[in-house]
Structure 1
Amino acid sequence: MTRLVTALGFAGLIPFAVSAAGIWLLQDYPRALSQQGFIVYSLAILCFMAGSLWGTAQRRVGGDKALRLLVSNGLVLFAVCSVLTAQALIAGGLLALAHLATLWYERGSSTDRGWYSRMRVQLTLLVVALHIAYIAGLIVRGSA
């Protein structure tokens, strides 16, 4: 199961990488599709991560459970509001921050430092790097 989770996690980087590359390499409609696709995919991944927090909250008790549920919902609301700015540059930056905040919360609320925790750090840092590449492409190519 560890291999499958790891493979799926890293495969999930592909749409980020392809969309970020599209900002740099494509023109007109395909480039606009890459721009929107990146933001929508980032939102989808954040919603997936929020769902994971929601699911793990069910094994918690008391205030820890309530906090995890609130963070899960707050993450989705923040991500949706980021997209609703309708500004790709702002949305990209805010979504990158939301990915980092999710990792920060997970690491602060768990004592597990096994393979999954290490993988989450690697994936999040790569996702943030791809957000930076996306934002840089918007600035350099004049879509900001």
Structure 2
Amino acid sequence: MRASIPALALWLGLAGLLPFLASAAAAWLAPVAWQAVAVRAFLGYSAVILSFLGGVQWGVAMCRERPGEAPFRRRMLLAMVPSLVAWPALLLHPFTGAWVLAIGFVLVRLHELSREGGARLPDWYHSLRMPLTLVVLACHALLIWRLWGS
């Protein structure tokens, strides 16, 4: 059974999709001079959100794991990986950076679905994150398609 998502978390999660949707659309539909700005905005926002997802794991480690024990150490270390992927992705060609960020979102979601990564996360979090991740990945696919060959 799916857990009920708290209304505030749902609304904030959906609101968090707006910059992805708007900048992906602008990369296709905006005047040419603004398309490059839209691509940079998309990639920057994507990197911020990917880093945020690592912060979720950091918060879980601080609040729900015992410091000094192996699960705490692993969760804290893995919480840093999204930021260490996201920032360098911004230094790459936009096409490559979009791929790196998309793969980062997939890897974070797979970690959240794993026994260890998903442990101690509330059930509603999984119900929220799956559709959000799918929309984020669809937006990345649109951007990658737009950048194909550039």
TM norm structure 2:
0.87
1:99 paired to 2:105: yes
CA contact (8 A) 2:48 2:86 kept: no
Q: CA deviation at 1:50?
A: 1.2
Percentage identity across aligned positions?
Answer: 32
Q: How does 1:19-98 map to 2 (within 5 A)?
A: 19-58=23-62, 59-61=64-66, 62-85=69-92, 87-98=93-104
Matched, 1:129 2:134: no
* Alpha-carbon distance in structure 1 between the residues aligned to 2:58 and 2:122: 20
Once residues 130 and 21 of structure 1 are traced to their aligned partners in structure 2, the CA distance between those partners, rounded to angstroms, is 9
Q: How does 1:102-113 map to 2 (within 5 A)?
A: 102-108=108-114, 109-111=117-119
One-letter amino acid of the structure 2 residue matched with residue 105 of structure 1: H
Aligned letter for 1:94?
Answer: V
Measure how far apart 1:39 and its partner are.
0.2
So what's the TM-score if we normalise by structure 1?
A: 0.90
Name the structure 2 match of 1:18: 22
Q: Does residue 4 in structure 1 map to residue 11 in structure 2?
A: no
Structure 1 segments unaligned to the other structure (5+ residues): none
Aligned length: 140
Stretches of 4+ moved more than 6 A in 1? none
Unaligned runs of 5+ in 2: none
